[in-house]
Structure 1
Amino acid sequence: MAPLLSARGVNVVYEPARGSRIWSVRDIDLDLGEGEFVGLVGESGCGKSTLGFALTRMLRPPARLSGGRIEFAGTDIADLDGEALRRQRRNGFALVLQSGMNALNPVRTIESHFGDILRAHGREGEDWNKGAVRERGAELLEKVKLDGDVLKRYPHELSGGMRQRVAISLALSLDPRLIVFDEPTTALDVMVQHAVMETIQELQRTSGFTALLISHDLGIVLEATDRLLVMYAGRIVEDQPSSDMLTGRHHPYTEALLNCYADPRADEVNLGGIPGAPPDLSLDQPGCAFAPRCTEVEEFNRHHEPPLTPYRRGLVACHVRARQEAESKEVPSGV
């Protein structure tokens, strides 16, 4: 079956009025399958959110898509604009931002938010009068475990968790096939984070949409997703089933991230760290971008950029791991 979304050679550049050009996303190839729940992790500044905005064609200046194909349901949306892009978004994809307040107008009621979306993007011929908007809004709020009375309220009258649930319900308004969740639990306390993620997982299971979850929280991502993408310096460096991430060897950067994660229920918790800092994305990056911070670096890695190659049940961009994988599959002579 063809993937719902397929990206090939996607690049995103930031071109500020002053300062250096920044290549935030570089040569990204990825597929998102129908109904798949995929996680995307990495340090701040590695390009996660920019990639999410690029895949849904919601980049804003000074960022711009600089080459590559993004096929959504068989249509290349990379060059679409205006009404053609609006038609693709209408029943195609949605984005949930880090904070509910970023998605909600503080001087409009929640009901008016639903009205704006349904009247602007709803199917032609549908009459989205106040009664119809109220009915649809209450139905969507119920899906995220909120009472219909929330429609009468303003964002400031809601808690952070409630605002985030409203943002999710707004994203569901047009029954999208893909939803990108950009750090949906960042501003919430731990208990509310857990409740919101349970709601997202339940909605994804029952509605069957494809989900891309962008997060710093490895625990949340490992628990919620089917597959995990690891991003570093604008590139995907590992792509593996989430169930495999706590076992065996991985890209050295992935292992470093995992060393920063620990089960809080464990009797003893030892957290590691990653020395150094991510590279300056305004500069050329010869070789492996992680080489200056890598404990397994070899001289070859400093001058040759590693491509994504098959590793375990997924892919890895690491010369050392690729060689180890090849060596493990070599058949001894005489056998």
Structure 2
Amino acid sequence: MAAYRNSLPQLEGGVFVTDGGMETTFIFHDGLQLPHFASFVMLASEEGRDRLQAYYRRYLDIARKHGAGFILDTPTWRANPDWGKKLGYTAEALHTANVAGVSLLAGLRGRYQDANQPIVISGAIGPRGDGYKAGSMDAAEAEDYHSVQIGSFADGDADMVAAFTLTNIDEAIGVARAAAARGMPCAISFTVETDGKLVTGRSMQDAIETTDAATGGSPAYYMINCAHPTHFSDAFDHGSAWTKRIYGLRANASRMSHAELDDSETLDAGDPADLGQRYRELMLKLPQVRIVGGCCGTDHRHVEAICAACMPELAHA
């Protein structure tokens, strides 16, 4: 059953860790082939499910070591209708995959969670199109489109949903409305370019304030992911209401732009220690942030470095 759907513990204080760059880890470190960058296809085999569990356990152990809670995001970033069709999945098969993703994590939660380590299961949603390009849907179309996947999560044990690498404000509004219609708390995570703005040229302030205005503030919180801290560290208006809505950071390991990452055939893993220190600097400026993890190019080394650098400040904030 959904343990925290009516009361997300990460909104009540404490520190929560999440994983790193799942797809880049499996492709570049483990040598797996993930068609269309889709990790949810691994749910279809016993070997794939075992690999996924081993991947999550590494991060769960880091959280336990540091006395933190954990956000378990399902491996379903690509498990929406358009991408599913490209991968040969019917609507029924896609629903099965989304449900299976939640079930896998429910099993992990049962083995790891204790009174000192709340573990939240979050249904991961990706954009309809490319996570590095602007989408073209309006809010109504986005609500209709994403309601399918959100419905799969709502019918299972997911506590919430989180939409990652969104580049279009209308799509964020649609996701938030679809989640609210199914009674699911949601997090909205925007991707920004090297100038700290969305690919459309709109600012994070505009994105958050517009989404909140159009949805009655229904998102539980916002996050930033798939950008290096140097790309967005100067984009905050510290102390402003919109900045205080940002609760989580999942940065890239690399300082490269999205265009450069797209063209690269090798993985730029950056410097885990430097990334940890950059998180620490952000945490001191953004005391409301409670969720830390990684995105493209990051792995357990980066998340461990982030926890080691930031946890003392977060634990006593």
Structure 1 length normalisation: TM-score? 0.34
Structure with more of its chain in strand, by fraction: 1
Q: Which structure: larger Rg?
A: 1
Higher helix share: 2
